[in-house]
Amino acid sequence: MIVLGVHKGHDSSAAIVKDGKVIADVQEERFSRVKHSGNSPIKSIEYCLGLLGIKDINEVDYISSTWENTPKELSVIFDLGDPSGKAENIAKQIGKSILGKAMGTNKLKLPIYYPNYKLKNKNKFINNNHHLAHAASAYFTRKTNDKCLIFTIDGAGDEMCTSIWMGEGNKIELLKSYYKEASIGWAYSVVTEGLHWIHGDGEGKTMGLAPYGDPSKCKGVLDKYFPEFKDDNLVKRSDLGESYYWSESGSTQFHFDESLEVEALIKKYGREDIAAEAQRKLEENVMNLVFGWIKKTGIKKIAFAGGVMLNVKLNQRIWNNRKDLVEEQHVYPNPGDSGLAVGAALLEYYKHNDFKGYEFNHLYLGPEYSNQEIEETLKIRKIKYTYLENPSIKAAELLADNKIVAWFQGRMESGPRALGNRSILMSPLKAENKDAINAWVKFREGFRPFCPSLTYESRHEYLKDCKDEFFMITSYDVTDHKRDKVPAVVHVDGTLRPQMVQKETNPRYWELINEFGKITGESIVLNSSFNVMGESIVNNPKEAIRCFFDSGIDALLIGNFYVAK
């Protein structure tokens, strides 16, 4: 059975599942080069189908969407009927009371130069609830199929903001859902916009800034924006007014007037302290909700999805705070809206097949390029290069010499984080390397931290009380004897957000880190995404070369080729 998952909206994406395995998962932004692109995922669909050699959309068993009502663009793409009928604009999907009246003509028609995706059997197209697709991405990527509480927490989708589900066997059952009265995600994003960062993009900056502040200096000043939970009950509603949206270059941003109030609070208390208070409120509310439901149901295995779960500090707090309550914690590694296509595809697949667990241990699900394709790209651009039998050894030597290395290998990662195939690397041994990458390569704020990749075998040398973490989705405290050894990847609060690299999963990257360890004694490297601030992670060799020459990177290892400045 083959199921194509499609998501049209913030972080549009497509994924394809064959016989229960995710074969491909890619965001439209990697093709359009517009970060968080909300364009129709036509290029993503084309990639997914092409990977399986599918030339006719009708060979697919089902197409599974991430909305209860079909976005009108998808209705046109798949020829489902008049898009002025049941199909709705994406603004309406998220909720008329949140976004207001949708604008624009309904007279859509696909140009002839796009692929023909007309479905002969319209019943193959399946609509799903937005939060149910989130829940499916979390539940159906667990190792087991036993009873599990699932929490989906984001801004809003299909009139849900915060939802609790029960997963067992093939079934996911809704236990409780809240709309804008309990949008923890919107509240955190209002603070993000008040800090003058993009709502739906800059929340990671808010999280990164928070450890520099002291929430006790402004405790309670953000209370009106956040809902409050006591155990499993909502005891105070979020007080947010009307919301607005703004579309730019195919990406949609959402806005609240309350961000102006937060801006005023920032002038009074300071950026760091307000960010710290927002992080405190986020952690407090989610933990009260999660631990309350665990106590109510007695179920100690929990899974998470939704954009809020990109907050690695929150995930650490849940894991470390109540070991008596949490037996298993699984966060889907691409929990934001770009992961919805996977959730929708798995959801439909397991309506027809038994779920027995999934060993989901990597996200290398995007395009890859052969040495021949890479070399042709280098030749056309008249770039000098050297062929290497083992680029891992060369990269390790360059890193040990404190060079900045761009690393482009294999299939592109899905999701927002580079995991060793589209990465910028540097030695973590010198504290000033964090500033160097921020200033010379990423062109971003100096306070922002960097994550490490380390060999799986060395995880306990660097991390306290850790579980397996392959996706940089949870932070951990660094061990006392390593904190001063790798200062470039230790945040100001003494935490690391790690990627544990297994040899069998990514042998070339594992060998690079292992070789660096042989030279320096530390089997860990600084790993940042291969892009500059505001741009999508690079997809193809052309983009890699452009980013390399337009930043302060010293060397590029692309396939088996070495390029130096």
- Helices and strands (DSSP H and E) totals, the chain: 18, 24
Per-residue pLDDT of the chain (565 residues; tens, 9 = 90+): 999 999 999 999 999 999 999 999 999 999 999 999 999 999 999 999 999 999 999 999 999 999 999 999 999 999 998 654 444 555 555 554 454 444 445 578 888 999 999 999 999 999 999 999 999 999 999 999 999 999 999 999 999 999 999 999 999 999 999 999 999 999 999 999 999 999 999 999 999 999 999 999 999 999 999 999 998 899 999 989 988 988 887 888 889 999 999 999 999 999 999 999 999 999 999 999 999 999 999 999 999 999 999 999 999 999 999 989 999 999 999 999 999 999 999 999 999 999 999 999 999 999 999 999 999 999 999 999 999 999 999 999 999 999 999 999 999 999 999 999 999 999 999 999 999 999 999 999 999 999 999 999 999 999 999 999 999 999 999 999 999 999 999 999 999 999 999 999 999 999 999 999 999 999 999 999 999 999 999 999 999 999 999 999 999 999 999 999 9
CA distance readout (Å), 323 to 57, 138, 319, 408 = 48, 21, 7, 39
**Which tokens belong to 524?**
């860990």
User: At the topology level of CATH, where does 371-564 sit?
Assistant: DHBP synthase (3.90.870)
Query: Taking the mean position of all CA atoms in its chain, how far away is CA 541?
Result: 23
Q: Quick check: do 2-90+98-108+121-132 and 371-564 share a fold? A: no
Neighbours of 122 (CB within 10 A): 11
CA 207/CA 495 separation, integer angstroms: 13
What sign does the dihedral 141-290-310-330 (CA atoms) show? negative
CATH class held by domain 2-90+98-108+121-132:
alpha beta
Domain ranges of the chain: 2-90+98-108+121-132, 142-331, 371-564
CATH class held by domain 142-331:
alpha beta
Q: What pairs with residue 25 in β-bridges?
A: 15
